[in-house]
Amino acid sequence: MNILILTYWSYPDALIQTYTLPYVRIIKKKLPSSSKIFLVTLEKNTATLKGEAFLRIEEQLLQENIYWLPLPYKPFSISALRFWALTSVKLSIKIIRNHISVIHCWCTPAGAIGFFLATLLRKPLIIDSYEPHAEAMVENGTWAKNSLAFKLLFWLEKKQTQKALHIISATEKMKDYALLKYGVAIRNFYVKPACVDLSLFSEQNKKDEDLLRKLSLEDKLVCVYAGKFGGIYLDQEVFDFFKVARTFWGDLFRVLLLTSHTREEIDHYCDKANLDKAIVVSTFVDHKLIPKYLGLGDFAITPVKPVPTKRFCTPIKDGEYWSLGLPVVITANISDDSEIIERHNIGVVLKRLDNEGYLEAVKKIEEILRQPRKQTFKTIRSVAERYRNYQLAERTYGLIYTQ
């Protein structure tokens, strides 16, 4: 059984490295040993498509019988539609020549391409990480509700929901969304959260002394965040929260941001919040170093914008935080995670995005941090083991690919 896997991200992106490849390897284990997997990525950096970088990635994947098919990323436009029309023909030829029997897509933008290919070639379609994208783009202000981009993707989300043989979502609630928005009662529906390598994110990564010294975080209370600001995430509100935390904890408090944002951007947010820039440490690190850097934190924050479609999203970072025993400050109604955090008392849900709401959250975190550290770690880690274990993905893909 040969499989074509379609994604809408570039190979170096964390969404490929932590949210796609681990599952691709699980799928590979479920298939006959002679099976081949063809992985399509969309590269924003053209350097990835050629030279030593390309050859290195290609060689690494070939050792696992995974064939890499990188394509240039094209933002939505008429020329992008023309590009995909031509590319779909090329992919169709690839599917026929390599006897590909299943088209497996990550998220609905890739699923849109998969729908056309599966329909044209009469192949089974699987949609993984199924969540609303079209409405999410409207909610975060990227698209207008009357735009061609929204109308086209929303229609294609409905069509792929109707077409898919199997649909894998991060939350059970997505089944209700499909019925309400698309009028489709999904037949074969599975729930697979954003799992985490629990051996990689573990207690041994906590409070690395050399790294604490390097970043001047010794004997400090550190709030850590790995991610971006803006788009699907809050921006200025996060720094307003940091300002309240700084006022509450004084010079004890520090912020560690693992982000691609420039220092100028971060300083701008600090200035608007009247926050001392010196307490904010920012750096961008390779994902293999993320566990050690996250482990410097005492608590973490997940500032996803609390808009309606985020009930169905997949915050990968929460599982990483929990695996390291970190209490989490999260916005309301985010996937199942806000509810899990509140139910297990392993952080705080921001009910209000104002100074009063931030102060309430800070006081709750203070209460958690006063508890015995070993017991707190054990409690939060157990949540990761229950809700983010790769065994959940093993079970899902086993049901699909061994039928």
- The 3-class SS string of 257-284 reads EECCCCHHHHHHHHHHHCCCHHHEEEEC
pLDDT number for residue 403 = 58
Rounded to 10 degrees, the C-alpha dihedral 204/205/206/210 comes to 110
Q: Pull the structure tokens for residue 199.
A: 């051996």
pLDDT in the model for residue 75: 87
Structure tokens at 195: 């799992």
- Nearest C-alpha neighbor of 38 from the set 86, 96, 85: 96
3-state SS assignment for residue 24: helix
Could you tell me which CATH class the domain 203-387 is placed in? alpha beta
Token representation of residue 215: 């970043």
What mean pLDDT comes out for the span 115-144? Answer: 95
Residue 166, C-beta contacts closer than 8 angstroms, at least 6 positions apart = 124, 126, 127, 188, 190, 400
Answer whether 294's CB lies under 8 Å from 258's CB. yes
State pLDDT tens for residues 167-176. 999 999 999 9
| Residue found under tokens 């929303």 | 154
pLDDT tens sequence across 310-335: 999 888 999 999 999 999 999 999 99
Cβ atoms within 10 Å of 359's Cβ, excluding its own: 16
Phi, psi dihedral angles at 96 (to 5 degrees)? -70, -45
Identity of the residue numbered 75: P
The whole-number average pLDDT for the span 50-77 is 90
Instruction: Give the mean pLDDT of 178-195.
Output: 95
Q: Is the pLDDT confidence value at 89 over 80?
A: yes
C-alpha–C-alpha distance, residues 136 and 107, integer Å: 13
Q: What is the pLDDT of residue 69?
A: 95
pLDDT of residue 346: 97
Give pLDDT, residue 341.
97
Q: What is the pLDDT of residue 52?
A: 85
Residue type at position 370: R
- Of the chain, the end-to-end C-alpha distance in Å amounts to 12
Residue type, 167: I
Which residue do the tokens 């693992």 mark? 258
- pLDDT score recorded for residue 140: 85
Residue 77 pLDDT level (bands cut at 50, 70, 90):
confident
Work out the average pLDDT over 28-45: 93
Residues of the chain with CATH 3.40.50.2000: 2-195+389-401, 203-387
**2-195+389-401 — its CATH code?**
3.40.50.2000
Q: What is the model's pLDDT at position 76?
A: 85
User: How many CA atoms does the CB half-sphere of 43 hold within 13 Å?
Assistant: 18
